[in-house]
Structure 1
Amino acid sequence: MKFVAAILSLVAGSAIAATDPVEVLVCVEALCPSCEGFVTDYLIPTASIPGMKDIMKVTYVPFGNAKIDLDAKTVTCQHGDTECFANSYEQCAIDIYPDQDDFLPFVGCVAAIPTQFKMSQDSSFEACAESAGLDFGVIKTCHDDPDRAWDLQVSNSELTPADHEYTPWIVVDGELYDNSSHDLQKAVCDAYAAKGGDGGDACKTAMVM
């Protein structure tokens, strides 16, 4: 019986692994209250559910409603230069630490910081890097390098859908997520089920379609 159970467990695990994870595009901006709320109340708790990292791949894009001028090499952020400053810190952290297990704790920490402490204060981002186990020195070096920081602003602008209408703009496997649903777990589990996947533990508490 133990042998049969082990085989069934292996097959179930293989079935889960054979399904591509759900792509979750998260377009935000650092000083947007609605973005902060989504990140702290829904994104981070959902990503923290056991097994969720196996079925959900997050692409986190801190650019939002900013406007970029490629000729003049300027970026104008919705909430001013301080937001560009903060966006750049997040862009650098994600570029250096692309694994969502690394960058999500950092951006989750940044989202939880009161706005006045994110305004051009390196210390707030240093504290979040330390709490996430990231090397703040290399993140700051990136942030303070005008060429690298500019390249990241460009790449993040390109990752932000041109037709987005607001922030946070969340796309789950190609479908716009309804922010009013307040249930990112269900959206991910529904999308995973639609692909033929079994979400396992990650979806046991979700009301899948």
Structure 2
Amino acid sequence: MNSFWSSVLFLFFVIYEKCEAKSHPKPSCGYPPSQWCRTLEIAVECGVQKQCMELNATRPDPSVPPVEVTVYYESLCPGCRSFLTEQLFPTWTMLKDIMTVHLVPYGNAEELPEQNSFLCQHGEPECKANMFEACILNVTGHAAFPIIYCMASSSDVINAALPCLQLNAPSVEWEAIKSCVTGGLGHSLMHENGVKTRSLKPTHRHVPWVTFNGVYADDWEDKAMSTLFNLVCKLYEGIKPPVCTGALKKLNRSFC
């Protein structure tokens, strides 16, 4: 791990420990930490309203549009899973106030209208996993990305769907996901993803295929695969948040 990500992880754990020490969330709080500041009601229930107010005071100017990152991918593609888990999710965790993420699970799949099915690069399991993730995106909204990150990080993407849902969106019923997958909605969502993917200009040549604010560029993709964090900071047109500029709080130095 390079020094940059070591610093990022250090900062994350410092903030987490500080919040743990001060907020003492109620045991009955039914929301994961990523959602504690989503609404005032949730913040009150979890006992972190003071920390959420402090967080809101440091957020970027809402009039400046966030960087829109759209990823066209396949659920079982090793390169896609690596990008989601090693680049996209860590970057989003740190920069979610200045970026939005859109996921389009489909990739190199092919729709077979006469058979009312799809043909996927990594076989039938990938078609099923793609549909699960499309349904999760449709049903769970803001909680979808952490769920899909959890699935992509596991050794079995499909069987991880239920525990990942329960961990990141405990209020969502599993039956809502299953009915989407087994019913007509899942097929419609995959058809829409296929239309979006086939409409890309330039046409995608591989996956993951990443666009920024709806635009694809070779040099952006090269940077996204290795230093997505830096690229998002560079593309954001507002005042850079402290984490982008490296303006970490200076600690007092002492020696023994």
**With structure 1 as the length reference, what TM-score do the two structures score?**
0.79
Q: Is the 8 A contact 1:172 1:187 kept in 2?
A: no
Matched, 1:143 2:181: yes
The secondary structure found in structure 2 opposite 1:90 is: helix
Note the aligned Cα RMSD (angstroms): 2.3
Aligned equivalents of 1:70 and 1:186: distance in 2?
Answer: 42
Aligned equivalents of 1:202 and 1:74: distance in 2?
Answer: 45
| Displacement after TM superposition at 1:131 (Å) | 1.6
The residue number in structure 1 matching 2:160 is: 124
Q: Is the 8 A contact 1:21 1:54 kept in 2?
A: yes
Query: Which residue, 120, 136, 144 being the options, matches 1:93?
Result: 136
Matched, 1:168 2:202: no
The residue number in structure 1 matching 2:169 is: 133
The residue number in structure 1 matching 2:233 is: 189
Tell me the matched-pair count.
183
Aligned equivalents of 2:72 and 2:146: distance in 1?
Answer: 17
Aligned equivalents of 1:205 and 1:108: distance in 2?
Answer: 26
Aligned equivalents of 2:169 and 2:141: distance in 1?
Answer: 14
Query: Which residue, 88, 112, 116 being the options, matches 1:69?
Result: 112
Aligned equivalents of 2:245 and 2:175: distance in 1?
Answer: 40
Q: Is the 8 A contact 1:23 1:57 kept in 2?
A: yes
Aligned equivalents of 1:175 and 1:86: distance in 2?
Answer: 26
Q: What percent identity do the matched residue pairs reach?
A: 30
Q: Which amino acid counterpart does residue 71 of structure 2 have in structure 1? A: V
The residue number in structure 2 matching 1:55 is: 98
Please list every run of 5 or more consecutive structure 2 residues that lacks an aligned counterpart in the other structure. 1-56, 248-256
**With structure 2 as the length reference, what TM-score do the two structures score?**
0.65
Q: Which amino acid counterpart does residue 30 of structure 1 have in structure 2? A: S
> What pairs up with 1:105-120 in 2 under 5 angstroms?
105-114=146-155, 117-118=156-157
Q: Is the 8 A contact 2:110 2:120 kept in 1?
A: yes
1:41-80 Cα offsets, whole Å, 9 max, x none, are 011101111xx22211111011111011345432111101
The residue number in structure 2 matching 1:178 is: 221
Higher Rg: 2
Q: Is the 8 A contact 1:16 1:199 kept in 2?
A: no
| Displacement after TM superposition at 1:179 (Å) | 4.1
Q: Which amino acid counterpart does residue 137 of structure 1 have in structure 2? A: E
The secondary structure found in structure 2 opposite 1:175 is: coil
Aligned equivalents of 2:70 and 2:138: distance in 1?
Answer: 16
The residue number in structure 2 matching 1:5 is: none
Q: Using CA pairs below 8 Å that are at least 6 residues apart, which structure has the higher relative contact order?
A: 1
Aligned equivalents of 1:202 and 1:104: distance in 2?
Answer: 21
Q: Is the 8 A contact 2:140 2:169 kept in 1?
A: no
Q: Which amino acid counterpart does residue 68 of structure 1 have in structure 2? A: E
> What pairs up with 1:13-32 in 2 under 5 angstroms?
16-32=61-77
Please list every run of 5 or more consecutive structure 1 residues that lacks an aligned counterpart in the other structure. 1-9
1:2-24 Cα offsets, whole Å, 9 max, x none, are xxxxxxxx8x96x7211111110
Q: Which amino acid counterpart does residue 171 of structure 1 have in structure 2? A: T
The residue number in structure 1 matching 2:18 is: none
Greater mean deviation of Cα atoms: 58-67 or 136-145: 136-145
